[in-house]
Structure 1
Amino acid sequence: MDILLIAGLWLDGSAWDDVASALRSLGHRPVPLTLPGQGDGSISATLDDQVAAVLAAVDSASGRPTVVGHSAACTLAWLAADARPDKISTVVLVGGFPATGGKPYADFFELRDGVMPFPGWAPFEGPDSADLDEQARHAMAAAAIPVPAGVATGVVRLTDERRFDVPVVVVCPEFTPAQAKEWINEGDELAKVKHLDFVDIDSGHWPMHTKPAELARLLAAAADAA
Structure 2
Amino acid sequence: MDIILVPGFWLDASSWAEVTPALAAAGHQVHPLTLPGLESVDAPRAGIGLRTHIDAVVARIDALDHVVVLVGHSGGGAIIHGAVDARPDRVVRAIYVDSGPLGEGGVINDELPEDGDDVPLPPWELFEDEDLTGLNEELRAMFRARAVPEPKGVAQDQQRLHNEARFGVPATVIACEFPSAMLIEMIAAGHPYVAELGRVRDVDYVDLPTGHWPQFTKPAELGAAILAAVDRGAVGR
The question of 1:67 aligning with 2:70 is answered yes
The residue that corresponds to 1:104 in the other structure is: 107
- Judge conservation of contact 1:66–1:90 (CA < 8 Å) in 2: yes
The residue that corresponds to 1:43 in the other structure is: 45
- Judge conservation of contact 1:22–1:212 (CA < 8 Å) in 2: no
Q: What is the alpha-carbon distance in structure 1 between the residues aligned to residue 151 and residue 178 of structure 2?
A: 28
The residue that corresponds to 2:172 in the other structure is: 169
Q: Which amino acid counterpart does residue 231 of structure 2 have in structure 1?
A: D
In the alignment, which of 140, 145, 148 is matched to residue 148 of structure 2?
145
The question of 1:180 aligning with 2:187 is answered no
User: Matches of residues 204-219 of structure 1 in structure 2 within 5 Å?
Assistant: 204-219=211-226
64-73 vs 114-123, greater mean Cα deviation: 114-123
How far off is 1:67 after superposition? 0.2
User: Matches of residues 115-130 of structure 1 in structure 2 within 5 Å?
Assistant: 115-130=118-133
- Judge conservation of contact 1:177–1:198 (CA < 8 Å) in 2: yes
Cα shift readout 1:124-162 (whole Å, capped 9, x = no counterpart)? 241211201101101111221111122222221011100
How far off is 1:182 after superposition? 2.1
The secondary structure found in structure 2 opposite 1:4 is strand
TM-score between both structures, scaled by the size of structure 2: 0.91
TM-score between both structures, scaled by the size of structure 1: 0.95
How far off is 1:30 after superposition? 1.3
Q: What is the alpha-carbon distance in structure 2 between the residues aligned to residue 162 and residue 172 of structure 1?
A: 24
Q: What is the alpha-carbon distance in structure 2 between the residues aligned to residue 71 and residue 183 of structure 1?
A: 19
The question of 1:27 aligning with 2:34 is answered no
The question of 1:17 aligning with 2:17 is answered yes
How far off is 1:165 after superposition? 0.2
Q: Which runs of 5+ in 2 are unaligned?
A: none
Q: What is the alpha-carbon distance in structure 2 between the residues aligned to residue 156 and residue 113 of structure 1?
A: 21
Q: Which runs of 4 or more aligned residues in structure 1 lie more than 3 Å from their structure 2 counterparts after TM superposition?
A: none
Q: How many residues align?
A: 226
Q: Which amino acid counterpart does residue 46 of structure 1 have in structure 2?
A: G
- Judge conservation of contact 1:2–1:62 (CA < 8 Å) in 2: no
Q: Which amino acid counterpart does residue 138 of structure 1 have in structure 2?
A: A
How far off is 1:99 after superposition? 2.3
Q: Which amino acid counterpart does residue 202 of structure 1 have in structure 2?
A: P
The secondary structure found in structure 1 opposite 2:206 is strand
Q: What is the alpha-carbon distance in structure 2 between the residues aligned to residue 64 and residue 106 of structure 1?
A: 30
Cα shift readout 1:149-201 (whole Å, capped 9, x = no counterpart)? 22222221011100000001000011101012123332420111110110011
Q: Which amino acid counterpart does residue 122 of structure 2 have in structure 1?
A: P
Q: What is the alpha-carbon distance in structure 1 between the residues aligned to residue 121 and residue 165 of structure 2?
A: 35
- Judge conservation of contact 2:215–2:222 (CA < 8 Å) in 1: yes
In the alignment, which of 81, 86, 105 is matched to residue 89 of structure 2?
86
